[in-house]
Amino acid sequence: MKKIYAILLTLISLLLIGFILVGSFLKFRAAIKHGQERPVASKKVQQSVYTLDGVKFVNHNPAESVDFLPTTEKENIQHQLDKNKFSGTCLLVKNGKIIYLKAFGRANDATGKLNQINSVYPINSIQKGLTSYLIMQLVQKHRLNFNDKIGKFYPKIPGAQVVTIRDMLNMCSGYQLTRSMNYSTSDQGVLKYNLTHLKFNSQQVGKFSYQEVNFTLLAGVASMLTGTSYAKLIKQNIIDKLNLTDTGFMYLNNSQQPIGYNFDKNQWQPQKIKQYEITRELGTSNIYMSAWDLYQSLAALRDGALLSKQSKTELYQQSLKDPYVAGMYPMTQFNRMHGIGFGFESSVAMDSNGQTAVVLLTNHWNSQAMVQNTLTSQLYQIINHA
For residues 89 and 105, the answer to whether their CB atoms sit within 8 Å is no
Dist. CA 234–CA 64, nearest whole Å: 27
Identify any residues that bridge with 267 across adjacent strands, giving them in sequence order: 264
pLDDT tens column, 163-215: 999 999 999 999 999 999 999 999 999 999 999 999 999 999 999 999 999 99
Are 296 and 210 part of one and the same domain? no
> What integer pLDDT is reported at residue 64 of this predicted model?
76
> What integer pLDDT is reported at residue 63 of this predicted model?
63
Are 75 and 127 part of one and the same domain? yes
Dist. CA 178–CA 198, nearest whole Å: 6
Domain CATH for 68: 3.40.710.10
> What integer pLDDT is reported at residue 332 of this predicted model?
87
Please tell me which residue, 64 or 340, carries the higher pLDDT value. Answer: 340
For residues 190 and 237, the answer to whether their CB atoms sit within 8 Å is no
Dist. CA 290–CA 21, nearest whole Å: 36
Dist. CA 119–CA 62, nearest whole Å: 7
Dist. CA 225–CA 144, nearest whole Å: 9
Among candidate residues 283, 313, 287, 161, the one with its CA nearest the CA of residue 223: 283
Sign of CA dihedral 231, 330, 353, 36: negative
> What integer pLDDT is reported at residue 292 of this predicted model?
95
Mean pLDDT, all residues of the chain: 86
Convert 348-360 to b/e letters by CB count within 10 Å (16 or more is b): bbbbeebebbbbb
Sheet holding 335-341, edge to edge: 66-67, 97-104, 88-94, 357-362, 344-350, 335-341, 329-330
Q: Residue 5 — very low, low, confident or very high, per pLDDT cuts 50/70/90?
A: low
Residue 304 pLDDT exceeds 50: yes
Residue 1 pLDDT exceeds 80: no
| Number of compact structural domains in the chain | 2
> What integer pLDDT is reported at residue 370 of this predicted model?
65
Residue where a domain stops, chosen among 224, 252, 272: 224
> What integer pLDDT is reported at residue 294 of this predicted model?
97
For residues 199 and 214, the answer to whether their CB atoms sit within 8 Å is no
Are 215 and 177 part of one and the same domain? yes
Are 276 and 347 part of one and the same domain? yes
Dist. CA 384–CA 215, nearest whole Å: 32
> What integer pLDDT is reported at residue 112 of this predicted model?
94
Residue 39 pLDDT exceeds 60: no
> What integer pLDDT is reported at residue 31 of this predicted model?
39
Asked if residue 197 is part of any domain, the answer here is: yes
Please tell me which residue, 184 or 59, carries the higher pLDDT value. Answer: 184
Asked if residue 270 is part of any domain, the answer here is: yes
Residue 221 pLDDT exceeds 50: yes
Domain housing 269 = 62-133+242-370+379-385
Asked if residue 91 is part of any domain, the answer here is: yes
Please tell me which residue, 68 or 122, carries the higher pLDDT value. Answer: 122
The percent of residues in the chain predicted with pLDDT above 90, rounded, is 70
> What integer pLDDT is reported at residue 40 of this predicted model?
37
> What integer pLDDT is reported at residue 317 of this predicted model?
86
Are 195 and 247 part of one and the same domain? no
Are 252 and 364 part of one and the same domain? yes
**Run of H or E residues at 140:** helix 127-140
Q: Residue 130 — very low, low, confident or very high, per pLDDT cuts 50/70/90?
A: very high
Dist. CA 105–CA 108, nearest whole Å: 9
> What integer pLDDT is reported at residue 50 of this predicted model?
46
Asked if residue 299 is part of any domain, the answer here is: yes
The percent of residues in the chain predicted with pLDDT above 70, rounded, is 82
For residues 198 and 159, the answer to whether their CB atoms sit within 8 Å is no
Which residues contact residue 108 at a Cβ distance below 8 angstroms, ignoring those fewer than 6 apart? 258, 259
